C-alpha cells in the first residue's frame, strides 16, 4: 500500500487502513493511478479521489465502510467494460485481482471472483465438456455482464446468463456481507439477476454450466445488394428454427476491405449436417458467398464479436419500414439479432432481465434519425445510464425500487446504471 500521502486523500486513506483494508491504494499523480482508472469506454474519464485495489471480500467491505464514513461515493470496476459513470472524487474499488475461477464438474457449476473474465471460465469449463453462458468476447468481465442480464450465443437454448445464477456473495451499503440465493435473501437474489450493481458489490458468483463442447459456428459474407431480400427472408425464417440455432444479420464490410457486405453470424449447438439443413433456406436467398466460413469448433474458441451499441432498440416484428431504412445506411454497421427461445421463457422465479418478449435486437454503431423506436433498452448495451429505467418492465421496475429501499435506501451505490429507491 502507498503510505506517503499528502493532501485531501490523507483522511480517506487513514479510514481505509482503520477499516482493515489490506489491498493497494493508488493516488492521483501516480502512473498506476492513470492506468487503473481507465475505462474501456473512451468517453469515460474518471477522476476518483483514490483507487482501492481489493484482494479479498474484506478489502471490499473496508473500502465501502471507509467511503461511507467520509461521505464519498463508491464505484466498482473489474475490467472497465461496464464503467459508464465517472467516480470523480470518490473511491474506485478495483476487483481485477479477485479473479478466481473454480469449476465443479459434478454439479456443473462455476464459482468465480468479481475480477474473473469469460476466457478463464471458458478454459476451465471446457476440460469437462461444459460451457458457460458467456458473451461475445473472452475478455469481458463475468460479473458485470451477468448482473446486467448477459445475452450470449447459447441464450436461445439456455436463457440469459443471469437466469443461471444460483448464489452470490454481496457486500451491502452498510458494509455487511450477505449470501443471496433462493433460500437466503430471496428478494436480493431476484434483484441482482438483471438489476446490476444497484444493491451491493458482488464478491463471489456461482452459476450453472451446460453440456456443450462443440458448436457449428462462424461468420459468412454475402453481397450487399442482397441485404433487403436477406432481411425479409430472415424475418420469416427465424420463426421456424429451433432454440439450438442462434443467428444475427450484420450490414458491415468484408474484413480487411472496404467492400460493403451482409454478414450472417451463426452458432448451432449441434452437428454440422443439421445446421446446414436448417440454414439452407437463408443461404439460398443470400446468393454467392464472398468470404468467411462455418466450421465445427469447441465452444470456447467460437469468437462471434459484437457491434458498438450507439443505437439500441428491440423489435417484436421486423417491418418493411425498418428494413428499408437500415439497408439505405451506407456508413454504419447494423446488427439485427434473433432473440426469443429460452430467453422469453425463463421459468418461475427468474430475475428482472428486461424485455424478454422481444423477437429481435437492433444495434447500430451510430445514431440514426427517423427509425421508429419502442423506447426499450438493455442494461448490458446501455450507453446512457440515465435511461436505466427503460431496461425493465414496469412491474419489475417497481419491485426493484422496493429492493433498493430495503438494501440501499440512501442510494449509496449510484455510480452505475442507477435505479433510485
User: If we measure between CA atoms, which residue out of 244, 279, 276, 214 comes closest to residue 154?
Assistant: 244
Condensed to tens digits (0 to 9), the pLDDT of residues 268-321 reads 999 999 999 999 999 999 999 999 999 999 999 998 988 988 899 999 999 999
pLDDT of 347: 85
Residue 90 CA to residue 157 CA, distance in Å, equals: 41
Low-confidence winner among 40-49, 140-149, 230-239, 361-370 (lowest mean pLDDT): 40-49
pLDDT at 6 over 50: no
Q: How many CB atoms lie within 10 A of CB 107?
A: 12
Judged by DSSP in three states, 212 sits in: coil
pTM above 0.85, yes or no: yes
Q: Is 129 exposed, middle or buried (0-12, 13-18, 19+ CB in 10 A)?
A: middle
User: If we measure between CA atoms, which residue out of 353, 333, 329, 335 comes closest to residue 343?
Assistant: 353
Residue 97 CA to residue 52 CA, distance in Å, equals: 11
In which order are the strands placed within the sheet that holds 24-26?
24-26, 50-53, 91-94, 74-77
Average of pLDDT values for 109-134?
97
Please give the angle made by the CA atoms of 195, 418 and 357, to the nearest 5 degrees. 40
Radius of gyration in angstroms for the set of CA atoms belonging to the chain, rounded to a whole number? 22
Residue 335 forms beta bridges with which residues?
Answer: 250, 363
Condensed to tens digits (0 to 9), the pLDDT of residues 64-83 reads 999 999 999 999 998 766 67
> Which percentage of the chain shows pLDDT scores above 70?
97
Residue 263 CA to residue 220 CA, distance in Å, equals: 5
pLDDT of 123: 97
The average confidence (pLDDT) of the chain is: 93
pLDDT of 287: 96
pLDDT at 21 over 70: yes
Q: Is 106 exposed, middle or buried (0-12, 13-18, 19+ CB in 10 A)?
A: exposed
Condensed to tens digits (0 to 9), the pLDDT of residues 339-380 reads 999 999 988 889 999 899 999 999 999 988 889 889 999 999
Residue 36 CA to residue 380 CA, distance in Å, equals: 22
Helices and strands: H and E segment counts in the chain: 11, 16
Amino acid at each position: 500500500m502507498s503510505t506517503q500521502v499528502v493532501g485531501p486523500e490523507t483522511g480517506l486513506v487513514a479510514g481505509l487502513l482503520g477499516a482493515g483494508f489490506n489491498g493497494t491504494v493508488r493516488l492521483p499523480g501516480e502512473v498506476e493511478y492513470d492506468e487503473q482508472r481507465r475505462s474501456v469506454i473512451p468517453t469515460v474519464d474518471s477522476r476518483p479521489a483514490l483507487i482501492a485495489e481489493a484482494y479479498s471480500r474484506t478489502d471490499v467491505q473496508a473500502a465501502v465502510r471507509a467511503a461511507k464514513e467520509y461521505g464519498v461515493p463508491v464505484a466498482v470496476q473489474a475490467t472497465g467494460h461496464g464503467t459508464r459513470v465517472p467516480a470523480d472524487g470518490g473511491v474506485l474499488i478495483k476487483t481485477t485481482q479477485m479473479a478466481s475461477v473454480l469449476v465443479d464438474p459434478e454439479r456443473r457449476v462455476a464459482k468465480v471472483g468479481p475480477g474473473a473474465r469469460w476466457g478463464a471460465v471458458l478454459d476451465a469449463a471446457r476440460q469437462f465438456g461444459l460451457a458457460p453462458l458467456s458473451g461475445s468476447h473472452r475478455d469481458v468481465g463475468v460479473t458485470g455482464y451477468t448482473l446486467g442480464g448477459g445475452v450470449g450465443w447459447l441464450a436461445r437454448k439456455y436463457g440469459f446468463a443471469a437466469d443461471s445464477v444460483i448464489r452470490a456473495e454481496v457486500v451491502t451499503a452498510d458494509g455487511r456481507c450477505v449470501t443471496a440465493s433462493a433460500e437466503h435473501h430471496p428478494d436480493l437474489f431476484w434483484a441482482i439477476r438483471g438489476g446490476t450493481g444497484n444493491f451491493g458489490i458482488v464478491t463471489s458468483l456461482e452459476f450453472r454450466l451446460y453440456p456443450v463442447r462443440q458448436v457449428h459456428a462462424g461468420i459468412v459474407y454475402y453481397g450487399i445488394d442482397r441485404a433487403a431480400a436477406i432481411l425479409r427472408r430472415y424475418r420469416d425464417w427465424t420463426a421456424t428454427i429451433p432454440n439450438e440455432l442462434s443467428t444475427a444479420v450484420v450490414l458491415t464490410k468484408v474484413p480487411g476491405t472496404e467492400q460493403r457486405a451482409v454478414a450472417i453470424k451463426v452458432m448451432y449447438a449441434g452437428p454440422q449436417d443439421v445446421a446446414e439443413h436448417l440454414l439452407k433456406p437463408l443461404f439460398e436467398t443470400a446468393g454467392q458467398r464472398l468470404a468467411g466460413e462455418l466450421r465445427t469448433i469447441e465452444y470456447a474458441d467460437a469468437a462471434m464479436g459484437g457491434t458498438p451499441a450507439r443505437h439500441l432498440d428491440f423489435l417484436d416484428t421486423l417491418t418493411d419500414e425498418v428494413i428499408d431504412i437500415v439497408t439505405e445506411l451506407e456508413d454504419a454497421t447494423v446488427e439485427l439479432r434473433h432473440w426469443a427461445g429460452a430467453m422469453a421463457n425463463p421459468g418461475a422465479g427468474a430475475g428482472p432481465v428486461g424485455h424478454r418478449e422481444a423477437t429481435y435486437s437492433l444495434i447500430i454503431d451510430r445514431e440514426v434519425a427517423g427509425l421508429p423506436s419502442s423506447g426499450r433498452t438493455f442494461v448490458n448495451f446501455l450507453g446512457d445510464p440515465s435511461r436505466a429505467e427503460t431496461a425493465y418492465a414496469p412491474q419489475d421496475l417497481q419491485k426493484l425500487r422496493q429492493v433498493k429501499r430495503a438494501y440501499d435506501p440512501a442510494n449509496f451505490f449510484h455510480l452505475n446504471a442507477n435505479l433510485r429507491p
